């Protein structure tokens, strides 16, 4: 029977001829309630179709069991089609649910600290996982000031104050990719990284550092043009690859972004550039994704399930006010598949 107004604990109490405390007790299965009274209450609940107000409970307890996932408005449009983001998102969600939390998706209108802080402080959540705005310097400070538990999904700044994230070992990632190509006798290598306001994000800087380390080890001099900055969306990436291949003809490519990787493969398909016969390609990201491409792509695989779980653990520790135990990043792995081949001078080049 439809009620005009949702029944409250008081209605139940009245119906069962007890007090609200007693009802509360049976609801929380707390202190011994006499079975008969208990039954009376349960009957009343059943009769009224009573559902305890979650809102009131959150209000009372101060715990919502909600984790806010904060993303910039502009990001969300593109990010959902990004395999790396998806994998991370999925892993975060699963871990959160496993721990009894739900994920509240929050978007900030613009990608600046003020906008982020504005939406964060206006949400009900026990803590926040932040896919950061371009620069998060002041955001971190504001969150600390307001005593709001948060973690970043990755390393966004080199500021030692920003220590709440779980990093992957990106230097190692860039290193093993570069080393493998050098082992295959490639020297004309290009590393395609995402372009953000003309620069690149810290994790790409790390990957580049690793790449440089490999080069040095093999005695190949690093040159600026080895790093190619291309935006991460499908069409822009396609055009960026096009532009690159008009003036340059590398024998091997490392690509730091999944969408750009797909765009590049499409470009090669469209222009008869054979992978790996004419060009070796290495991707970065979740391994399953690259396995679904043709050819199957050699890739540097990060354990996103692991790091996402760690990230949630970190946030929960902060929420519970426990001392934070820093975790060493897990090493990425090189998964060798069909997109990389040994380079030999004699190899025919298509005209």
Q: Which residues here bind DNA, judged by CB under 7 A? A: 6, 8-10, 17-22, 24-25, 27-28, 30-34, 36-38, 52-53, 56-57, 59-61
Q: Residues binding its own copies: what is the number (CB under 8 A)?
A: 50
Q: Shortest gap between Cβ of 261 and its own copies (angstroms)?
A: 11
Give me the 99-128 binding string for its own copies, x by CB under 8 A, dash otherwise. Answer: ---xxxxxx-------------xxxx----
Q: CA–CA separation, 8 vs 274, rounded Å? A: 69
Classify residue 76 as exposed, middle or buried by CB count within 10 Å of its CB (0-12, 13-18, 19+).
middle
Nearer to its own copies, 104 or 220 (CB): 104
Stretch that binds its own copies, among 20-28, 162-170, 257-265, 310-318 (CB under 8 A): 257-265
Question: What angle do the packed helices 258-270 and 234-247 form, to 10 degrees?
Answer: 60
Nearer to its own copies, 91 or 189 (CB): 91
Does 76 help bind its own copies (rule: CB under 8 A)? yes
Q: CA–CA separation, 9 vs 13, rounded Å? A: 6
Provide the sign of the torsion angle of the four alpha carbons 309, 89, 106, 52, taken in this order.
Answer: negative
- Interacting residues with its own copies between 178 and 197 (CB under 8 A): none
Nearer to DNA, 40 or 318 (CB): 40
Q: How far apart are the first and last CA of the chain?
A: 78
Q: CA–CA separation, 317 vs 57, rounded Å? A: 22
Nearer to DNA, 31 or 223 (CB): 31
Does 49 help bind its own copies (rule: CB under 8 A)? yes
Does 94 help bind its own copies (rule: CB under 8 A)? yes
Q: CA–CA separation, 31 vs 34, rounded Å? A: 10
Q: Is 55 left (phi over 0), alpha (psi -120 to 50) or beta?
A: alpha
Nearer to its own copies, 175 or 289 (CB): 289
Q: Which of 55, 135, 161, 185 binds its own copies (CB under 8 A)?
A: 55
Nearer to DNA, 11 or 258 (CB): 11
CB 217 within 8 A of CB 206: no
Does 292 help bind its own copies (rule: CB under 8 A)? yes
Does 20 help bind its own copies (rule: CB under 8 A)? no
Q: Shortest gap between Cβ of 283 and DNA (angstroms)?
A: 48
Which tokens in the block code for residue 106? 């929050």
CB 237 within 8 A of CB 202: no
CA distances from 298 to 14, 144, 313 (A): 68, 41, 31
Q: Shortest gap between Cβ of 240 and its own copies (angstroms)?
A: 15
Q: Which of 26, 166, 230, 265 binds its own copies (CB under 8 A)?
A: 265
């Amino acid at each position: 029977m439809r009620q005009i107004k949702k029944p409250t604990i008081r209605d139940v109490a009245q119906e069962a001829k007890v007090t609200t405390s007693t009802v509360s007790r049976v609801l929380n299965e707390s202190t011994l309630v006499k079975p008969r009274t208990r039954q009376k209450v349960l009957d009343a609940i059943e009769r009224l179709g009573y559902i305890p107000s979650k809102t009131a409970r959150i209000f009372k307890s101060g715990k919502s069991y909600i984790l806010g996932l904060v993303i910039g408005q502009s990001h969300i449009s593109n990010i959902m089609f990004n395999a790396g983001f998806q994998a991370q998102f999925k892993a975060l969600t699963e871990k959160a649910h496993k721990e009894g939390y739900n994920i509240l998706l929050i978007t900030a209108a613009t990608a600046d600290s003020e906008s982020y802080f504005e939406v964060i402080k206006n949400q009900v959540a026990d803590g926040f996982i932040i896919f950061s705005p371009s620069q998060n310097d002041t955001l971190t400070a504001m969150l600390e000031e307001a005593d709001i538990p948060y973690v970043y999904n990755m390393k966004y700044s080199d500021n030692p104050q920003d220590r709440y994230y779980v990093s992957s070992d990106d230097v190692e990632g860039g290193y093993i990719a570069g080393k493998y190509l050098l082992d295959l006798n490639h020297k004309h290598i290009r590393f395609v990284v995402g372009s953000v306001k003309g620069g690149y994000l810290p994790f790409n800087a790390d990957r580049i550092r690793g790449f440089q380390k490999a080069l040095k080890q093999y005695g190949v001099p690093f040159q600026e043009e080895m790093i190619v900055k291309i935006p991460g969306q499908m069409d822009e990436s396609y055009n960026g690859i096009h532009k690159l291949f008009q003036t340059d003809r590398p024998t091997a490519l490392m690509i730091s972004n999944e969408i750009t990787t797909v765009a590049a493969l499409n470009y090669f398909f469209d222009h008869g550039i054979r992978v790996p016969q004419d060009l070796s390609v290495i991707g970065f990201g979740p391994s399953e994704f690259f396995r679904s491409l043709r050819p199957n792509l050699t890739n540097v695989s990060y354990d996103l399930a692991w790091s996402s779980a760690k990230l949630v653990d970190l946030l929960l520790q902060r929420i519970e006010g426990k001392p934070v135990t820093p975790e060493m990043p897990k090493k990425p792995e090189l998964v060798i598949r069909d997109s990389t081949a040994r380079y030999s001078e004699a190899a025919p080049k298509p005209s």
